[in-house]
């Protein structure tokens, strides 16, 4: 006969390979404190509803507190024989307080209990990720303020398009990260309903108070449908999706750091303590941390795909396939959180080579659009002005010159509308200052943008 808590139905004990293959307890270590929270709230409710006596509840709560202390002290034993953390805690409570410990599982199933524990943990993890994103955003703002006024190339197709301020480029990542916070907030809102009470999948015959347990644990309320509750993993898929999108953004920033720290471009320098060297080439200084973040993004994408693939063909409500939900989600949470934490000090210590960035900003006839705008303000239709400037750029290429070096006589070959004020409109400073539309790269607009960003830092998220 099986000696497991559910073994009454079985003649044979679980094969040791099955035991190891089926166990999730080693993956679930991180949810252990949250499982204690959930069980404590459940026992409070059972006592309030007279399903347990006050004395029974007191004994069980004493056992739960003892297990909590063992966990905090690192003395709690995680054994695959317990299968999952829920049964491990119940077993240990029963060892401490006796058979009354078995009553803590009244009116619930491991299905709703496991859902609860992971929701509590994921809710906590999202708050920590949002804090880490906010910290990185503060660094983005500080870096933008530190190098205010530095010219920088704006790219399309990774070809120089127009000059911008470095601060404008840097602040782009603030708003990218702000959208990431919004996605995590959305995931938080939808996961913040309490599954406890859905039991195995049909609810329970006991007179439980689901509103009470939901309120005690800070949920918006209980979930509406017990079948949906047990069969749902949308909250984890949304968290994985938000993590994947955020990692994609960190990967893009890391890619730009890798490019811009190369000797051929050299707009940025990374601090030595965030780089590595070569085992054979003594001259090397490699941006390995940025590359590592770029590489880790792929694994987070894979975790999302794993979750979607796991769920795509499952009938309602619970299937053991779903026990595979934790490993990819926990990995995505850990990977993103660490990437955010390490990117912050790396960015703080990064220096900008203003002279080299200015040279880059002036390459590729980046002031050509401003010349076309100049002609348009003289009354020439923009499409024709665009055509004229294209001819002028072609002339510069063939004569190895640039727009700022051309004489008025040379300009007059292409249009009589060009006058002796032309050069004041096509300097890098003039090009940047002219783009004063809302959200543009003009210095005063970037300052306004930074001030709005600072105000966003004070907005609370998920109650934090």
Residue 102 vs residues 3, 91, 156: alpha-carbon distances, Å: 15, 8, 65
Backbone φ/ψ region at 457: left (φ over 0), alpha (ψ -120 to 50), beta: alpha
pLDDT digits (tens, 9 = 90+) for 68-101: 999 899 898 877 776 788 888 999 999 999 999 9
Matching residue, tokens 């990774």? 158
Q: What CATH number belongs to 111-148+163-356?
A: 1.20.200.10
Beta strands 151-156; 159-165: pairing state: antiparallel
Residues of the chain with CATH 1.10.275.10: 7-106
d(CA 45, CA 224): 19
- Range 7-106: architecture per CATH: Orthogonal Bundle (1.10)
d(CA 409, CA 268): 39
d(CA 246, CA 328): 16
Q: Is 72 helix (H, G, I), strand (E, B) or coil?
A: helix
pLDDT digits (tens, 9 = 90+) for 55-71: 999 999 999 999 999 98
Residues 68, 71, 76, 82, CA torsion sign: positive
Marked catalytic residue, from 2, 262, 271, 278: 278
H or E element, residue 59: helix 54-73
- Quick check: is 436 catalytic? no
Compute the mean pLDDT over every residue in the chain, rounded to the nearest whole number.
Answer: 93
d(CA 204, CA 222): 14
Residues of the chain with CATH 1.20.200.10: 111-148+163-356
- Quick check: is 157 catalytic? yes
Q: What CATH number belongs to 367-456?
A: 1.10.40.30
Give the pLDDT of the chain (464 residues) as one tens digit per residue. 455 654 566 666 766 666 666 567 677 889 999 999 999 999 999 999 999 999 999 999 999 999 999 989 989 887 777 678 888 899 999 999 999 999 999 999 999 999 999 999 999 999 999 999 999 999 999 999 999 999 999 999 999 999 999 999 999 999 999 999 999 999 999 999 999 999 999 999 999 999 999 999 999 999 999 999 999 999 999 999 999 999 999 999 999 999 999 999 999 999 999 999 989 999 999 999 999 999 999 999 999 999 999 999 999 999 989 999 999 999 999 999 999 999 999 999 999 999 999 999 999 999 999 999 999 999 999 999 999 999 999 999 999 999 999 999 999 999 999 999 999 999 999 999 999 999 999 999 999 999 999 999 988 767 65
Residues of the chain with CATH 1.10.40.30: 367-456
Nearest CA to 405 out of 387, 416, 393 is that of 393
Long-range contacts of 199-204, Cβ-Cβ distance < 8 Å, separation of 24 or more? 199/107, 199/108, 199/109, 199/111, 199/112, 199/226, 200/109, 200/111, 200/112, 200/230, 200/318, 201/109, 201/111, 201/226, 201/227, 201/230, 201/231, 201/316, 201/317, 201/318, 202/226, 202/227, 204/107, 204/108
d(CA 349, CA 139): 10
- Other beta carbons within 10 angstroms of residue 204's beta carbon come to 18
């Amino acid at each position: 006969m099986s000696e497991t808590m559910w073994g009454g139905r079985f003649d044979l004990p679980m094969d040791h390979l099955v035991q190891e293959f089926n166990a999730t307890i080693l993956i679930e270590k991180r949810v252990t404190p949250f499982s204690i929270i959930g069980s404590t709230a459940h026992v409070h409710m059972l006592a309030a509803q007279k399903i347990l006596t006050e004395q029974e509840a007191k004994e069980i709560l004493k056992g739960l507190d003892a297990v909590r202390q063992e966990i905090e002290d690192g003395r709690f034993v995680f054994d695959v024989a317990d299968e999952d953390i829920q049964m491990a805690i119940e077993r240990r409570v029963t060892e401490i307080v006796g058979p009354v410990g078995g009553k803590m599982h009244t009116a619930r199933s491991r299905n709703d209990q496991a859902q609860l524990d992971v929701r509590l943990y994921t809710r906590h993890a999202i708050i920590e990720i949002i804090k880490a994103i906010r910290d990185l955003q503060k660094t983005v703002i500080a870096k933008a303020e530190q190098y205010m006024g530095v010219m920088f190339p704006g790219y399309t197709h990774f070809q120089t398009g127009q000059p911008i301020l470095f601060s404008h480029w840097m602040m782009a990542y603030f708003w990218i990260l702000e959208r990431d916070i919004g996605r995590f907030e959305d995931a938080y809102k939808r996961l913040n309903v309490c599954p406890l009470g859905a039991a195995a999948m049909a609810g329970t015959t006991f007179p439980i108070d689901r509103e009470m347990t939901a309120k005690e644990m800070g949920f918006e309320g209980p979930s509406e449908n017990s079948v949906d509750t047990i069969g749902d993993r949308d909250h984890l898929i949304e968290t994985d999706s938000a993590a994947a999108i955020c990692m994609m953004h960190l990967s893009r920033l890391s890619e730009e750091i890798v490019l811009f720290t190369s000797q051929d471009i050299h707009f940025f320098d990374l601090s030595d303590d965030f780089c590595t060297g070569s085992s054979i080439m003594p001259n090397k200084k490699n941006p390995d941390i940025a590359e590592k973040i770029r590489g880790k993004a792929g694994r987070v994408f894979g975790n999302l795909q794993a979750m979607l693939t796991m769920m795509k063909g499952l009938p309602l409500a619970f299937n053991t396939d779903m026990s595979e939900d934790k490993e990819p989600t926990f990995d995505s949470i850990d990977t993103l959180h660490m990437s955010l934490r390490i990117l912050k000090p790396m960015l703080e210590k990064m220096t900008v080579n203003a002279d080299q960035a200015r040279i880059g900003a002036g390459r590729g006839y980046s002031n050509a659009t401003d010349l076309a705008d100049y002609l348009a303000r003289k009354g020439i239709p923009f499409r024709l002005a665009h055509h004229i400037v294209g001819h002028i750029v072609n002339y510069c290429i063939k004569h190895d010159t640039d727009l700022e070096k051309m004489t008025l006589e040379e300009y007059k070959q292409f249009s009589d509308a060009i006058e002796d004020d032309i050069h004041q409109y096509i300097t890098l400073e003039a090009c940047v200052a002219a783009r004063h539309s809302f959200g543009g790269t003009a210095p005063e607009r970037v300052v306004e943008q930074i001030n709005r960003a600072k105000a966003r830092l004070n907005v609370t998220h998920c109650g934090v």
